[in-house]
């Protein structure tokens, strides 16, 4: 099962007898509010134009719980998540395609959650909205209620202790920008640095300038240089479990299964008892 779909292939599938459900998850990590500027409004962006038939999904309210001890984007309440998916028309027997404004992080978060909770056929539109060349719509669809019931899997999810252990026994990738990994800057969380043993692997290096993923063979080569292959136990974390999901998606494109530490650095750094490494060396 492919983890991504091209815009041209999506056009073809939307004309099929069983077209995919479309989810619009436009979202951006923004520090503008602290500077007095209005935060990014994904719902307003959706209202201004979206793929025909797509339903808006709110990452902060439906793909995550409220910020707290579990990080800035902890796992959502499964009842809330399931209701949001059914409202959008998601059923287990119908494919799902998720997209966002082009960065891919928010779409990957929805992809990861659906996969982790048992949906058998979900893909991300490679390149997001900018890759779509057909007309957009401002009509708000009213899809038939879906039947999807989230059933979390036993694998694919790490907690703080699991991430720490994997950094010693396997490969733990840090998907944040290199300067945050090294502890040179930290614009959001209370402490800069990384989980001891984690390897710096910025998720931005997994995509081309147009936002599309690099070819699978190039991704496999990149991850191999970082110590991650299909024969290794691999985990990923980021700031709050969003860009990390995008790295898990890139690993899936490369054919490498990986788990996600959803609490990520926002959870790890909130506990002063957890160790912090700084600088370019993993340890």
Q: Please identify which of the residues 238, 245, 253, 277 carries the catalytic annotation.
A: 238
Backbone φ and ψ for 6, nearest 5 degrees, come out as -80, 160
Nearest to 150 by CA among 111, 106, 92, 88: 92
Q: How many CB atoms lie within 10 A of CB 270?
A: 18
- Binning the chain into helix, strand and coil, the percentages to the nearest 5 are 35, 15, 55
The DSSP output letter for 230 is: T
φ, ψ of residue 161 to 5 degrees: the values are: -65, -40
Query: Are 248 and 226 a contacting pair, CB within 8 Å?
Result: no
Cα torsion angle, 128, 132, 136, 140, sign: negative
Exposed e or buried b for every residue in 46-60, given b needs 16+ CB within 10 A?
beeebbebbbbbbbb
C-beta of residue 248 within 8 angstroms of C-beta of residue 258: yes
Say how far apart CA 194 and CA 183 lie, in whole Å: 7
Question: Please, which residues have CB within 8 angstroms of residue 116's CB and are 6 or more apart in sequence?
Answer: 152, 153, 156, 157, 260
What region, left, alpha or beta, does residue 180 occupy, with left being phi > 0 and alpha being psi -120 to 50 degrees?
A: alpha
SS3 label, residue 158: strand
Q: Is 238 a catalytic residue?
A: yes
Catalytic residues: 238
């Amino acid at each position: 099962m492919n983890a991504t779909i091209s815009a041209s292939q999506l056009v073809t599938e939307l004309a099929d007898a069983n077209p995919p459900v479309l989810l619009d998850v436009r979202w951006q990590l923004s520090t503008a509010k602290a500077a007095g500027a209005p935060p990014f409004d994904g719902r307003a962006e959706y209202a201004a134009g979206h793929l025909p038939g797509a339903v808006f999904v709110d990452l902060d309210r439906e793909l995550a719980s409220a910020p707290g001890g579990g990080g800035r984007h902890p796992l959502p309440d499964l009842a809330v998540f399931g209701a949001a998916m059914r409202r959008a028309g998601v059923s287990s027997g119908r494919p799902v395609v998720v997209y966002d404004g082009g960065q891919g992080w928010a779409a990957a978060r929805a992809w990861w959650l659906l996969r982790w909770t048992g949906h058998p056929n979900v893909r991300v539109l490679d390149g997001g909205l900018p890759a779509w060349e057909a007309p957009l719509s401002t009509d708000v669809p009213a899809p038939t209620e879906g039947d999807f019931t989230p059933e979390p899997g036993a694998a694919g999810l790490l907690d703080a202790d699991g991430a720490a252990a994997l950094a010693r026994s396997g490969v733990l990738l840090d998907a944040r920008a290199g300067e945050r990994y090294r502890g040179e800057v930290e614009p959001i969380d209370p402490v800069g640095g990384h989980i001891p043993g984690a390897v710096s692997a910025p998720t931005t290096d997994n995509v081309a300038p147009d936002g599309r993923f690099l070819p699978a063979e190039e991704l496999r080569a990149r991850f191999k240089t970082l110590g991650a292959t299909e024969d290794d136990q691999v985990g990923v974390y980021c700031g709050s479990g969003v860009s990390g999901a995008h790295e898990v998606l890139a690993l899936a494109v490369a054919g490498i299964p990986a788990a996600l530490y959803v609490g990520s650095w926002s959870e790890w750094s909130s506990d002063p008892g957890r160790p912090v490494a700084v600088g370019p060396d993993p340890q």
